Structure 1
């Protein structure tokens, strides 16, 4: 009993516990208040269900093998799991626009493009004019205004009253208040929840792929345990052979009258 590989059992339990953490996170996504719209969930429904079914099959087989102390019957028990996960990943790559707020993304990209174009134009203009090393009157005026603005910003940053007032203006999300007083409440909440609902589906899919990765650690730990604990080899079930007409020999015996 002292030489029995109890540490290998502990490794299997630890790997399985890490899988259960991901399963609880998936359960939390299902019970979340903010959910993806039904049309978006339907796009990934078949791939997500397939990954879940294949992972459940592997877990049931591992549990039965631990109970009967039997080695794995297949050398690649995770083949179907990995195949289902690849199909889900491919669907995510094809329909990734459903998992993010594309409107806000395009807006930020346009802003970055305009900023880069303005910087390039400014650099080109300075190179063409061959400005002198000595600062001009415009540069001195700009530097003066910059210093004045920096000093006022520094004072306001460390002013306790302004800091407290700033914190009071920040609402707690998802409070039933609008972030922008000038906009209607419905428009603001609609955009906010739309972005969050898209991210909830992305989070669930990401956690499911993470579960597949952690399930592989469980299989590795079980294989190590089965080798050290000398689990018995799996017994292949005999294939049932249909009786039929008995083949060529039976036909010859029937022909000569040995068998009716």
Structure 2
């Protein structure tokens, strides 16, 4: 009887567990459905945001759709299908692979695909002619040897830096086409006809891609590189100005709380300003490579030094590292009191504003393709720098430290340390100096193995601060780091200006003469005078 009751209880418990499992699975399914529904509701907003950020994306999507429709006519129209046949699929594949967002990228991939196909076809027919003069067995051995030698040689050439950078895609197409023609020639009868049709279909696909990229609303890689360089100058200018204003407007703790509570760094205006500069290396090199492939599409066909933009980007990244360090001063554990920072507020803000003005002037000069003003470093910048130097020299005691203030700080830290020890049940009988506190902490650590982790969590942060305070650091020392970084930014600004001037000289930027209606375009060659109405609307390759 007892056994039956026990079995009944187990069955009841198992039934309850089954019901609970079903309910939990239903709840999980409901949560997943809610997440999917939320993403589905946000999807239209995401589509609108992507198109609003860059309307050229919408145009490019229509261009790809139109190109695919045109190459599909090779299948849909009877006369075209009879002339080309099933090889028309190669035209569709070419459009999908070759048509890129910018004209330079499309031209690079299209030319690589065309040259790779042509060279592979020519070499394959040469080997086919040699193989046909031999017997059936020797022909198989010869084809296998040719595939091995050409495949190994072409793959090894891909490791050469110049070929890897400019013709890697073409080498891949060469390998693919050569193997398709050479291997299929052993079994197929009319290989020449197949290769002929494939070459023409690939040429048709490349022609449609080049037409869409170069004629129908073209997007130039050089123009994107030019605009991104201007945006980097503007972003750095905004970051410096916002960083200095935030440093002097809020107290140290408020600044740290405001920056820590933000959900993501992308919403921080200071971070957004220099983020594009730090992440620009690969983008600049890619755009410069594609821009070198673009044809000279301006009226006067000037050759533009795109690699000089890459060098300028490297200088801007070095400049941006200092801005990152300046931003880090807002998040340091030890902050200068607000009352002390107020003594140096005006010269620092003036200095940051003048640096921002200089960066904006450089951005405008690159944007309008003219030489920067000779007064890009104005006298106001030097005056602000001199005022900051005078303000720092007028407060020597702040940077030398004070025994009385340090003693009060030490006592305050000791009291806070004792309160925390009392809360955690750890007694601290005496507290005289940072050295005695360290010795006492070591002795207690050795006494009990179980309380070691608790003491470490409580004592280590406090003892670190006590040890730092015991060295009698100046309370203005964090500001000294901030001011030195601000002066370093001014020093590195000279390198940026020199690189911009070098870019203007090589790229033949225009230069306005006062009191003259003409613009003198100067470069490292012979100066050329042109009127303002005949300036190129876009730089050449």
Conserved in 1, the CA contact under 8 Å of 2:336 and 2:476? yes
2:345 counterpart residue number: 45
Partner Cα distance (1:237, 1:194) in 2: 62
Following TM superposition, by how much is the alpha carbon of 1:228 offset from its aligned partner in structure 2, in angstroms?
1.3
Q: Which SS does the other structure have where 2:333 is aligned?
A: coil
Conserved in 2, the CA contact under 8 Å of 1:55 and 1:212? yes
Could you give the per-residue CA deviations for residues 42-76 of structure 1, whole angstroms, max 9, x where no partner exists?
A: 11110110110000001111111111111122345
Following TM superposition, by how much is the alpha carbon of 1:100 offset from its aligned partner in structure 2, in angstroms?
3.7
1:12 counterpart residue number: 312
Could you say if the C-alpha distance between residues 77 and 93 of structure 1 is closer, same or farther in structure 2, counting changes exceeding 3 Å? same
Partner Cα distance (1:235, 1:173) in 2: 70
Q: Which SS does the other structure have where 1:233 is aligned?
A: strand
Which segments of 5 or more consecutive residues in structure 2 lack a partner in the other structure?
Answer: 1-290, 293-302, 405-444, 447-451, 517-541
Following TM superposition, by how much is the alpha carbon of 1:230 offset from its aligned partner in structure 2, in angstroms?
0.8
Q: Which has the higher contact order (CA 8 A, sep 6+)?
A: 1
Point out the structure with max Rg over C-alpha: 2
Q: Which SS does the other structure have where 1:17 is aligned?
A: helix
Partner Cα distance (2:309, 2:460) in 1: 48
- Whether 1:207 aligns to 2:485 is yes
Could you give the per-residue CA deviations for residues 140-159 of structure 1, whole angstroms, max 9, x where no partner exists?
A: xxxxxxxxxxxxxxxxxxxx
- Structural mapping, 1:42-191, within 5 Å: 42-75=342-375, 77-103=377-403, 175-178=460-463, 188=466, 191=469
Conserved in 1, the CA contact under 8 Å of 2:401 and 2:475? no
Which one of the candidate residues 499, 507, 514 is aligned to 1:221? 499
Aligned length: 174
Conserved in 1, the CA contact under 8 Å of 2:398 and 2:475? no
Which segments of 5 or more consecutive residues in structure 1 lack a partner in the other structure?
Answer: 105-163, 180-184, 239-260
Cα RMSD over matched residues? 4.0
Following TM superposition, by how much is the alpha carbon of 1:29 offset from its aligned partner in structure 2, in angstroms?
0.3
Conserved in 2, the CA contact under 8 Å of 1:72 and 1:234? no
Partner Cα distance (2:486, 2:347) in 1: 11
Following TM superposition, by how much is the alpha carbon of 1:172 offset from its aligned partner in structure 2, in angstroms?
9.4
Conserved in 1, the CA contact under 8 Å of 2:336 and 2:475? yes
Partner Cα distance (2:387, 2:307) in 1: 36
Conserved in 2, the CA contact under 8 Å of 1:16 and 1:215? no
Partner Cα distance (1:193, 1:173) in 2: 21
Could you give the per-residue CA deviations for residues 197-227 of structure 1, whole angstroms, max 9, x where no partner exists?
A: 4211010000000000001110111111111
- Whether 1:232 aligns to 2:532 is no
Partner Cα distance (2:485, 2:400) in 1: 16
Q: Which SS does the other structure have where 1:177 is aligned?
A: helix
1:153 counterpart residue number: none
Could you say if the C-alpha distance between residues 100 and 26 of structure 1 is closer, same or farther in structure 2, counting changes exceeding 3 Å? farther
Conserved in 2, the CA contact under 8 Å of 1:50 and 1:84? yes
Conserved in 1, the CA contact under 8 Å of 2:336 and 2:479? yes
Partner Cα distance (2:361, 2:376) in 1: 13
After TM superposition, the score normalised by the length of structure 2 is 0.28
Normalized per residue, the structure richer in helix is 2
